[in-house]
Structures are given as structure tokens and as C-alpha cells.
Structure 1
Amino acid sequence: MLQPAQQIVVDIYADESEFSRTVLAELKRLEIARRIKVKPFTAWRANKALVHPTIVISATDVAELHKSLRFPQQLLIVPKALANGIWQRWQGDTIAWPESVEVLFKRLQLMAHGFNTARQLNAVRDSLIWHTQRVEREHELVEHIFRNALSRNFTHYKHIRTLLTPASKFNGDLCLIAPGHLGNLYVLMADFTGHGLAPATGALPLSQAFFAMADRSVSVAEMVIEFNYRLNRLLPSDMFCACFLLELSANGEWLTYWNGGMPPALVFGSDGIVKHRLTAQHMALGVLTVEEFDSQVATIRTTKDDAIALFTDGVIEMLSQKREFLGMDALEDLIQTYPKRDDFNTLISELENFRGNQPLHDDLSLAILECRPTGLVRQQHDGEVEALPFTFTTELQADELKRIDVITAVLGIIGRLPTLHGHRTTIYLLLAEVFNNALEHGLLGLDSRMKNDPEGFAYYYQLRIERLQELESGSISIAVRYDHAQNYLHFTVRNSGRKWEAPALPAIDTTHKPYGRGLDLLQKLAHDLRWQNQGREVSFGYQLTAG
């Protein structure tokens, strides 16, 4: 609570009347302050800023006394004959002289207390005004930076519809879209912890990395590795970023994704029936160190009639007027009811009707991407140095397999090939599949059938971590050959572990299995796929000029 400071100075403005001299003499005799500064009445102004508690003494009713006071906490002393008339116009306190000593002292104390309180409140008000103006200016600067950072966002892409509604001035959610070099498309949906300015600042480094890596047609796996590295170093320990990142092929038939801590994305057909729920199988960005982070991606086949709905938890946790959550089932029902492109505004209206006047408690973001051929023009790369034919071979021992991100390292070596633009994700997927088979089945002795139930799936990867840490012997060699004339890459991966029975080609049924999709992808996208030496050696080719 505000407390008045002890007064040591009182300003007194007095006219030259005998009344004023009498009152002034009495005030000095009573020692109302340690120091009294007497000033002529003509120097007093109603709108004048006061420095000390102020007493005004006047024997006449002058026009200046009727004006609005800047500080109403002033004491006016007038003869009793003038008191009634002035009381109706004077905005401060008034004493009709003469007055008893006790009443006089109380009135002086009230005047001093009121003055000090008003002065402190005005100081607080001025401080708040200054602070508010400074915050508004800083917000304007941050908004300007955000606009520039997101100016490249490809939100006008014709096959995507978005709803981005922040719970406060700044959005802790992020939806980024960028075209790739071969007509492919990248889409990122992210949700930082909390909402407002603090989580929104994480959008800056994430968006910069996203657009820079999309320009280089970096694979989804490489992207999330870089995102996690940056955010792990940048964010405080109590803050992280849930993220869903996808790449859609130019023909709209392949969708590669990574889901870290986000609600399951929904892949649905033209009838609204959900075909796939792309659930999170990774931790959010910024939580794990580089060594702990898992960048493994998944790929599904899509058709031109499919669409994928990406959303943050603000959508399914939206509250109704009855304070009930929307939930996943209700959202799927809405998507099934309004699956078409032209239904999007109606879908949004239904969400708004559900919420009613209930305020948002979290940022709300929804994007629906149609899995159609993108229609994006393949970008040309001028001024790139023509690549030479080469052969690259490496053999990795147990110690190196524990600490090196092998696939990213290999892609980094061959990544300067001019024609590799737009193929990085596919090559990453193919190479990661054969390498992981060599490591998990050859050296670590894991069986994919363990993934048949959710508990077994988690146990499989926990066992993978444990056995890799305990691995003391064994090796994996990777050979890459580039045929300059044919613009063709050939890969061979060998391991020194146990034999592995390769699946019969060409048919692999992965419809109802949580494993085997990588092998299906190998059969569809790789050339001349061969297993040799009882499954210990796998070779395949890849045509870089393929659409």
C-alpha cells in the first residue's frame, strides 16, 4: 500500500492581505513543517506541477481559484465569509479560517497524505505509460522481424488450406510451406510450449533453417536433425517444440513424414474416411541431444483423391461453452462430413460454432493438404560445377556405429552432386532402409516381428539402443559408385553379422503390418535390387534423372 513520506517542506502561496499575513504567522508558529517556503499568490497557477504539499491563502475569491487543478490535493485557506461560495467551485480541500489547532493539523496531514499518494500514483502511471509504449514498440519490431522471416512462406499454394488463430498477439504455432527443386513440397506444422511472445521467438531460427534447407532439397530426416540441434541449444530446459514435417512428391504419390510429439495427422479420402493416422513416434524437438535424437522417417503411398490434415493440440483441446473438449473423434467426424476443398470454410464455421464465445486457451492451427500432383515447376540450377565420376567406400566398426549418424554423413559426402537436388529424401530413405537392416538384423540380431503390437514396437527400439551400446565387434561397409555418363548412383551395403533371409520379390504385403514398408519402398523406387551372401549384402541403383 502506498505510504506518504515524511514532509520537510511545504509551499505556501499567499496574497498581500492582512488576512494572509495573520494566517501565515499562525502556521509558522505551529511549526507545521520543518521548512515553509512562502511565495506570492500571483506565482500560483491551477495547472502548475507541484513539487511539495501546497497551501493557498487568499482573502478574495479570484478567477484562478475556479480553474481545474492539476493536483487537487491542495489546501485553500479563506475567510469564513468566502468559504461557502468557493467550496462549490474549488476542487481541493478548503479551510474556513479561523479553525481549531487540532482540526488544522488533521487537515494538513490529510493534505500531505493526499499529495504524496497522488504523486506516487502519477509516477506509477507515467512509468506504466512509458513501459507500455516501449513494449508496443518492441512488439512492432518483433512483428516486423516475423513478417520478414515468414515472407517466403508458400501459403498461396493452391492445394493447401490453413487456419492459424493465436490465443494471444503472437502465435506459438507455426505452419511453414516451401516448394522443392523437383516440384516436391515441404510442409511443417509446429507447436512450441505455451503461447505468446516467448514461444513465438522459436519460430525465427526454425523458419530460417526450414527455408534454407528446402532450398537445398534436404531430406526430411536431415531437416529434423538440424532443427533439433538448433532448438536444443537455443531453448530453455522447460521449453520444446512438437513438430510434424512432411515432404510430398511432385506426382503426389509419396508422402514422407516425421512426427515428434504432435497429434496424429489424418490421411483421408474424398469420402472423408480416414485411411492413415500418422501418430507420433518421436520426442519433440529440442528435448534430446544430438546423440539421443532419432531422425527415422516413414513413407506412405497416397492417391490424387487423398488429403492430409495437420493440426496442433489446440484444435482437439478446444473448449465449448459447456467447457467440453472437442476431441479426436469429433474432429474426424467433422472431416468426414466436410471432406471436400469447398467445404473448408464450413468446417471452420463448425469449429467456431462449437467454441462459441469461449476464449481460446491455446493457439489453434489446422492445415489440410491435398495429395495431388503439385504442378510446381522444376527449378534449374545455374552455375553448378559438373560432377566427376567417383567411387566411395567406407567400413564402419562397432565404435563408429555407436556415435556417427552414418546416413547423414554419407549424404553429406555425395550431396554436392548437382543432380542430387530433389532426390535427397528418396536416397536417404533407401539407404537408411538397407543400413538399418544390416545393423538391426545382421549385427544386433533383432526380429521385426516384435513390432506386431504397440508394446513390442517400443521394446524393439529400446532393445536396439541397448544392444548397440553393448556392441563390441562387427562392421558395416558402404560403397557408392557414381556413373557420370548415365547420371546413376549404385550402392552396396555389407555387414559382417548373421545371415538374414531376404523377402521374396516382388510381392511384399505390408498393409496390416507395422514393419516392411521400407522394403516395399525399396522395391518400388530402387533399380536392380539384389540380396547376396545370405542377406549380408544388399545392392541397388538409383537414376538421378528419374522424375
Structure 2
Amino acid sequence: MVENQGALTSSLHILIADDDPVMRNVLGNFLKSEGHTVVLAEDGAHALELFEKDKDFGLFVLDVKMPHIDGLSCCARIKKQLTRWVPIMMVSANSEERSQVEGLDIGADYYLTKPVQFALLRAYVRAAQRASALQNEVQEKSRRLEDYYNKSQSDNDLARQLLDRLLHSSESTSLDAKYIIDPAGEFSGDLIVSMRSPSHRLYSMVADATGHGLPAAITLIPAVETFSRLSREGYSVETIVRELNTRLRSSLPRERFVAAAVMMFEPHTQRLEIWNGGCPQVYLLDNESRQIAKTFPATHPPLGILDAPRFDAKVTGASYQKHQTIVACTDGVVESEDPSGNMFGQKGLERVLTCHDRSRDLIRAIGSALDEFTAAESAADDRSLLILPLGSIEFEGEDSVISEDDDSDITVVNSDIDLTAMATGGWYFALGVRGDALKDAELAPIVNNVIGRMGVTGEKADKAHVCITELLNNAIDHGVLGMDSSLKSNPEGFAEYFEERQKRLSQLDYGGVFIRANLDRSGRNYALSVTVSDTGEGFGYKDENATEASSLPVPSGRGIKLVRRLADRLTFHDGGATSEFRIVIMAGESGQPQQKISEIEPEN
């Protein structure tokens, strides 16, 4: 049998302690002849002294019986100070079994009896060499594993920070929204993000990517970037989900997709739109009665599965009240299992939502119910939950929601300021859409973007965005589609109105909407004027210049009344088919500007 010499190539650094100088020298000379380095100690105390100065020994050979400190005590004290495994060999003239057991119990690894048989000593030393080589290998692998772990942790920390910044930087902090985000691993494949548009709409998305961990989290990056950009610009939910699907389908592997519930809430009209693709149903919960007012089940497959021709972007619309709450979650919540494998389910969630125990808030009640149901075991899937009280979605430009039967005329008119007549320079643009192009047209975000590039920002821009959005909606809904606002007088009627609007829009093949915007200046005075026209028959209106005897009724739509409140002037032409509003951006007093638009008139 050929012995593997590879493990024996390294010599050992050996400490020998024996009070018998003859035995000490004999053992030392033999081990030196075997190629090892040897340090000799006269007794146990001397051995400990040498060990204190040099901790790099690879083998200890200790006589059991020595003065001052015997071998067993010396062995025990060395073992306590060692930071790694080093073999210890006890040498004794006593061959009794009890003595050997005592030495091994203290920590000795080998036991030799006198007279020493050098063949056995050689075998023990070689065994120590192999053990030492194995120990060094284990330590090296352990060091490499620790280095890898530390680097992996560092990489994970960096990845987590980057993903948190990418996935959550757009998340609204001004809402009274509450979240449960419970990842199954170190990274979450779920996402909850909210974003406000310039017209004060709130957009929210609850998303669940295929799989878990870092790959699932990376999948969400293109989704959150697309959602944030389009919702920030005020695009419709239909446009947002259509673009999300296109982006994800082109960027993800075919086996990857994202279940998502995309929602839009408009505070000044108290309407909402929801597209649910593959998520558990979304709940509209009445806070006062703790009853479920409406549910929005998944009516579409997840994003990233269907190609553009087969993808359905149709949304569900409804109205809401300020005392209601939206509850949306990923499937990790409803598919949570108890120790027996039973699922929490939609019914389990609904039991918590409709519970009348008001001693706990909703987010804690659901969290506690999940912990109790699962016996607080770690989640097998990412679990995320959004609780959004709809009363927290404020419209800062409006004190109260405008109702359909609010006939108050609160138009603010600066009749002494006519900047258009005095205009000596400024910006102008026009845009129109006709025929079936109106089906997918997104005029409001385009116009708002251009106005922002004109230099209109801040509170004035927010007012302009709302006015543009509402007048365009009015022109399409009532002018082109001929919709009747009276349908929206109750929640059920609003749903009917929304369905009918989508039906008429899908069948549209004629008609048009046109918009013109001017930013005029005279000196350092500026005013934004926007005109919206449609090809419809018009409607009754009440002009601020009309006399009390005018028989024309005030428009019944909320949007027109809101524009009256926000704009400095609102006028109608062409029997109501054309509306024009003006917002004073900068009105100078004694030649001193109140506000500067440096993008339009740079300082010299």
C-alpha cells in the first residue's frame, strides 16, 4: 500500500515538556530526525511560559507526571487558550486504563506509554500531520467561505439599497397609507408604489413578480420606472398598463411576468379606475359600516404575457366616498397557509375587513390574523398589503369635492387684467385629434408637458393641469360622445356611465377635439390662456359676462364647476362647444414682478 505523502510534506512545530532530561532529549532528537522543529520544556510551568511567547505550535507532547504543573493540568490550560485545533499527546509510565481515560477527558488527543515505541510515535505524529493538514484546509475553506459571505452580504446590501431607491423612490409619503411588506427571502418580489400627477390624481400600483428574491426584485425595475413616469405625467390607467405590458414583454424572459393592480383616484370628482391583472381582488371598504362596498376582481392576465394585439387595457370605473378605504394585496397574503396546509384565502381576509372590533386598526388586525393563522411561521411567498384611506387623498386646490347639483357660480374674474390684448411676445401652440384617433389619444399629458416647458410651474401649473384635464374630459364625454352627466348621480349610475363611455369610445369613428394654448406677456406680466373645442353640438352655459336675465343654465358637470373655481376667468363660445380659461401667472404692480419665469424671459 502506497501511503499518500502529500498530506505529510509540511513539518510540525512541536513543544515537548518532560522533567526527565534524557527522555526529553531522546524524544526531541527523534522528532528532529523526522524533519520537525522542536522546542524543549523542563516541566509544565516552563511549557506554559514558552506557549505564552509562541502560539504557533502544531503538536504538544506532554509528560503526565511533572513537578510544579503536571501534564494533565498543562494540557487543560493550553486547550483553553487555543483558538484552533492543535493535537496534544500525553506520555506516561502509567498504562492503567483509568489514567488514559482521564487524560483523554481533559483534552488529550493521543496517549503513549513508556517505554515509548518510536514506530507508534511516528504513526501518531503522521496522524497529527494529516489532521493538521486537514485542519489547515478546513480553515482556508472557512476563510474563503467567510470572505465570500462577507462579499455576498456587501453585494446584497448594495443591491438592496439600489433596488429600494429604484423601486421606492417614487412612493408617496404624503398619504395616510399603510403597508405590510413581508418578503419570503432577503429581497422582495412584491412592490407597492404611489405617485401623484400634476392634476392631483393619485396613482397606485400593487405588483407581484414571478418567483422570489433578487431575480424577482430585478423584474420590477422596468415596471416601476414606466409606472412612475407615465403616472407623474397624468396618463390614463389604460395607457399606463398598455405601456407596462409592452415594456415587460420586451424586457423579460417568457417565463417571467408581473401580476399587478393599477389604480387611479381623482379627489376632486371622487372617481377611481382600476385595472387588475392577476392580483387578488381589490376591496372598496366602508369604514363606518365595515361593509365591503365593491370588489374589483382580476379580469385580466398578468402583465408581460400577451402581445399588444391581444392585450386588453379595459379598466373598471367607480365613484368613492371619503369615508371609504381601498385594500389591495398580493397572492402571498391570501395563499398563506396554516401548519395543516389550509389557505387563509379571500374569505379569511374578508372576515378581518368586516370585523367590527375597532380596538385595532386595519393593518394591525390583518397582520395579527395572518400571524395567528400561520402560527407565525416564515412566509413561503412574499406578502404585501396596501391599506389606502381615500379621505387622505387631498386636492390642495379645492376646499371640498364639487357635487353634481352644486350650481354655485364662484368664478374668479380679473376683469381689469387683459394681458392678451397687451401681448408683445410669448408662446403659442395648437393640437387636435379627430376620428378614431380619439380612442387612444392622451391630450392632457401632452399639453401639460408643453405648458411646463413654457415655464409654467408650481401652484399655477397645478391649477392649469386640472383645468386642462377637466375641459378635455368634458369635450370628449359630452361634446363628442354625447354622454349625459345625470347618470353619475349615484355609484351604480357612475359604473353605467363608465361602461357606456368605453362602449361609445370604442365605436367612435368621427368627431374631434382641438386645443390651443397661449402664454402671453406684456413687459413682465404673463397670463396663460387655453381654449378647448369639440365638434359636438355644445351645451347650455352661464358666462360670467351674462346678465341675471340669462336663461342659459349652468353646466351640470363637476369638471366645469371646478374650472370656474380654479381659473381667473372661464368663458364659453359656439354654444358651449368651445371653452376658454385664463390663469394669471404673473401680474406686476408698479412695474415690480410678483413672480419670475426665467425660462421665458432670462435676466440680462
How does the TM-score come out when normalised to structure 1? 0.65
Q: Deviations over 1:290-323 (max 9, x none)?
A: 5654433332223344432211112211223443
Shift in Å at residue 47 of structure 1? 9.0
- 1:112 and 2:111 correspond: no
Q: Retained in 2: the 8 A contact 1:227–1:285?
A: yes
Counterparts in 2 of 1:28-427, with a 5 A limit?
Answer: 36-41=35-40, 45=51, 54=59, 56=61, 61=66, 66-68=77-79, 69-76=82-89, 78=91, 80=93, 91-100=108-117, 103-104=120-121, 106-149=123-166, 150-158=168-176, 160-251=177-268, 253-269=270-286, 270-289=288-307, 293-338=311-356, 343-344=361-362, 345-372=364-391, 374-378=393-397, 388-392=428-432, 407=440, 414=447, 416-418=449-451, 421=465
SS at match of 2:354: helix
- 1:19 and 2:23 correspond: yes
Judged with a 3 Å threshold, the aligned counterparts in structure 2 of structure 1 residues 130 and 86 are, in CA distance, closer, same or farther, namely same
Q: Retained in 1: the 8 A contact 2:175–2:392?
A: no
Shift in Å at residue 123 of structure 1? 2.4
Shift in Å at residue 7 of structure 1? 1.7
SS at match of 1:163: strand
Q: Retained in 2: the 8 A contact 1:192–1:200?
A: yes
The match for 1:497 is none
Structure 2 unaligned regions, length at least 5: 42-46, 399-424, 452-460, 482-502, 519-528, 540-555, 561-575, 584-604
Structure 2: distance between partners of 1:234 and 1:152: 21
Judged with a 3 Å threshold, the aligned counterparts in structure 2 of structure 1 residues 258 and 542 are, in CA distance, closer, same or farther, namely farther
Structure 2: distance between partners of 1:340 and 1:425: 39
Structure 1: distance between partners of 2:260 and 2:122: 70
Judged with a 3 Å threshold, the aligned counterparts in structure 2 of structure 1 residues 284 and 525 are, in CA distance, closer, same or farther, namely farther
Q: Which amino acid aligns with 2:350?
A: E
Q: Retained in 1: the 8 A contact 2:532–2:578?
A: yes
SS at match of 2:199: coil
SS at match of 2:241: helix
The match for 1:8 is 9
SS at match of 2:514: strand
Q: Deviations over 1:362-384 (max 9, x none)?
A: 222222333448323249xxxxx
Instruction: Indicate the larger mover: 295-304 or 3-12.
Output: 3-12
SS at match of 1:67: helix
Structure 2: distance between partners of 1:428 and 1:56: 95
Structure 2: distance between partners of 1:540 and 1:194: 52
Structure 1: distance between partners of 2:470 and 2:262: 15
Judged with a 3 Å threshold, the aligned counterparts in structure 2 of structure 1 residues 48 and 256 are, in CA distance, closer, same or farther, namely farther
Q: Retained in 2: the 8 A contact 1:390–1:483?
A: yes
Shift in Å at residue 481 of structure 1? 1.6
Q: Retained in 1: the 8 A contact 2:349–2:366?
A: no
Structure 1 unaligned regions, length at least 5: 380-384, 438-460, 462-474, 494-504, 506-522, 528-538
Shift in Å at residue 136 of structure 1? 3.0
SS at match of 2:112: strand
The match for 1:453 is none
SS at match of 1:6: helix
Judged with a 3 Å threshold, the aligned counterparts in structure 2 of structure 1 residues 372 and 14 are, in CA distance, closer, same or farther, namely closer
Shift in Å at residue 181 of structure 1? 2.3
Structure 1: distance between partners of 2:341 and 2:475: 49
The match for 2:564 is none
SS at match of 1:157: coil
Shift in Å at residue 524 of structure 1? 6.7
Shift in Å at residue 348 of structure 1? 4.0
Q: Deviations over 1:65-94 (max 9, x none)?
A: 642334444253646379979767564434
Q: Retained in 2: the 8 A contact 1:240–1:287?
A: yes
Structure 2: distance between partners of 1:349 and 1:15: 65
Q: Retained in 2: the 8 A contact 1:49–1:71?
A: no
Structure 2: distance between partners of 1:264 and 1:429: 28
Shift in Å at residue 255 of structure 1? 0.4
Q: Retained in 2: the 8 A contact 1:267–1:307?
A: yes
Q: Which amino acid aligns with 1:366?
A: L
Structure 1: distance between partners of 2:366 and 2:121: 73
Judged with a 3 Å threshold, the aligned counterparts in structure 2 of structure 1 residues 489 and 95 are, in CA distance, closer, same or farther, namely farther
Q: Retained in 1: the 8 A contact 2:16–2:28?
A: no
Judged with a 3 Å threshold, the aligned counterparts in structure 2 of structure 1 residues 393 and 352 are, in CA distance, closer, same or farther, namely closer
Structure 2: distance between partners of 1:544 and 1:282: 40
Q: Retained in 1: the 8 A contact 2:12–2:129?
A: no
Judged with a 3 Å threshold, the aligned counterparts in structure 2 of structure 1 residues 233 and 370 are, in CA distance, closer, same or farther, namely same
Structure 1: distance between partners of 2:559 and 2:263: 21
How does the TM-score come out when normalised to structure 2? 0.60
Instruction: Indicate the larger mover: 102-111 or 357-366.
Output: 102-111
Judged with a 3 Å threshold, the aligned counterparts in structure 2 of structure 1 residues 129 and 390 are, in CA distance, closer, same or farther, namely same
Shift in Å at residue 129 of structure 1? 2.5
Number of residue pairs the alignment of both structures matches? 451
Shift in Å at residue 156 of structure 1? 4.8
Judged with a 3 Å threshold, the aligned counterparts in structure 2 of structure 1 residues 347 and 203 are, in CA distance, closer, same or farther, namely same
Judged with a 3 Å threshold, the aligned counterparts in structure 2 of structure 1 residues 261 and 88 are, in CA distance, closer, same or farther, namely closer
The structure whose Rg is larger is: 2
Q: Retained in 2: the 8 A contact 1:46–1:70?
A: no
Counterparts in 2 of 1:465-504, with a 5 A limit?
Answer: 479-484=512-517, 487-490=530-533
Shift in Å at residue 280 of structure 1? 2.1
Structure 2: distance between partners of 1:246 and 1:346: 24
Judged with a 3 Å threshold, the aligned counterparts in structure 2 of structure 1 residues 156 and 339 are, in CA distance, closer, same or farther, namely farther
Q: Which amino acid aligns with 1:355?
A: T
Structure 2: distance between partners of 1:278 and 1:285: 17
The match for 1:456 is none
Structure 1: distance between partners of 2:55 and 2:244: 57
Judged with a 3 Å threshold, the aligned counterparts in structure 2 of structure 1 residues 50 and 92 are, in CA distance, closer, same or farther, namely farther
Q: Retained in 2: the 8 A contact 1:220–1:425?
A: no
Q: Please provide the CA RMSD for this pair.
A: 4.9
Structure 2: distance between partners of 1:487 and 1:239: 45
Judged with a 3 Å threshold, the aligned counterparts in structure 2 of structure 1 residues 155 and 390 are, in CA distance, closer, same or farther, namely closer
Q: Retained in 1: the 8 A contact 2:170–2:193?
A: no
Structure 1: distance between partners of 2:284 and 2:338: 26
